[in-house]
Structure 1
Amino acid sequence: MGLLEKRAVKEYQDNKYNALVSEINQIAGYEIEFDVKWDTLAVNDHSHLFEEGFTKVYFMPVINALKEITKDDLGKEALKETLKKIIVKNEEGVSYYESAYSYSEKVLTIDHEPFTNMDNVSDRSNFLVEFLSSKM
């Protein structure tokens, strides 16, 4: 990760990330722990895409899915019992959402390339609703 990528990650962390995590926790109704492997997300020569890619690939699908899951008290309770932590990374080079999500011991892991299929937000969101709901 070069200087451009480091600056873009810091800008994202300072201006976008905290607000997104806050929104996620507000929707959930409790604090979900996040572990973002920033060094794996910061692909060289793509710093101009960080804000759009990180938001669309990782955070908007979670926000959309949690809104759907928590639309009633049953969903809110199930989520609270099921999800404690979210890990975000790009280690396996996954470009399709069907293979990007895994779940174990109350931890959702998202391992997806940050700039591939960025605009498939609704597909990722819908898949994540079904995926998480099947674990509840």
Structure 2
Amino acid sequence: MGLAEKRLAESIKTDSLPAFESKLNNLAGYPIKVNIDWNTFTAFDTYPLSRLEIVFGDLESFVKKICTDDMGKEALKEKMSAINLTNTDNRDNVSMELKDATLFLTVQLAGDSFSSQTDSQIAGYVETLL
């Protein structure tokens, strides 16, 4: 990790991430903690960090889709209290799993292409588990 990655990661940690968590909390009506495996996002260059805002947008939209009413908010609250984000450079490792009240997402923001779950894919997956 070079200086550019360190600066961008720190900016996300202090500015973007708190604002993003606040948006999720407002949409869901309860606190959702977002944990980021920073080492997997800073191991390459600034590209994965710069694409993190896109993942935040998909996650915000997913929570909005689930939490359209009190029934959705309660169902999500019972099953999910945190989101863990990990980055990979291998498309075969892109995955999502909801277990132990945590949504684990592995995205590919490094390497030769960009691959992550869309808001509809995440919502479709999580809705079946609520």
What TM-score, normalized to structure 2? Answer: 0.85
How many Å separate the matches in 2 of 1:35 and 1:88?
Answer: 6
Matched, 1:50 2:45: no
How many Å separate the matches in 2 of 1:95 and 1:124?
Answer: 16
In the superposition, relative to structure 1, how do residues 49 and 34 fare at CA in structure 2: closer, same or farther (>3 Å)? closer
> What secondary structure does 1:90 align onto?
strand
Partner of 1:89: 86
In the superposition, relative to structure 1, how do residues 95 and 11 fare at CA in structure 2: closer, same or farther (>3 Å)? farther
Which residue of 87, 90, 102 corresponds with 2:97?
Answer: 102
In the superposition, relative to structure 1, how do residues 48 and 35 fare at CA in structure 2: closer, same or farther (>3 Å)? closer
Q: What is the identity, as a one-letter code, of the residue corresponding to 1:75?
A: G
How many Å separate the matches in 1 of 2:42 and 2:127?
Answer: 30
* Larger relative contact order (Cα-Cα within 8 Å, sequence gap ≥ 6): 1
Structure 2, unpaired ranges of 5+: none
How many Å separate the matches in 1 of 2:29 and 2:92?
Answer: 31
Matches within 5 A, 1:23-42: 23-42=23-42
In the superposition, relative to structure 1, how do residues 66 and 11 fare at CA in structure 2: closer, same or farther (>3 Å)? same
Which residue of 52, 61, 65 corresponds with 1:68?
Answer: 65
- Using the aligned pairs only, state the percent identity: 24
RMSD between aligned residues: 2.2
Partner of 2:122: 128
Matched, 1:114 2:112: no
Partner of 1:77: 74
Q: Once the two structures are superposed, what CA deviation does each residue of 1:29-53 show, in whole Å capped at 9, x if it has no partner?
A: 10112221111112423x15623x0
In the superposition, relative to structure 1, how do residues 90 and 12 fare at CA in structure 2: closer, same or farther (>3 Å)? same
How far has the Cα of 1:113 moved from its partner? 1.6
Count of aligned positions: 128
How many Å separate the matches in 1 of 2:87 and 2:47?
Answer: 17
> What secondary structure does 2:118 align onto?
helix
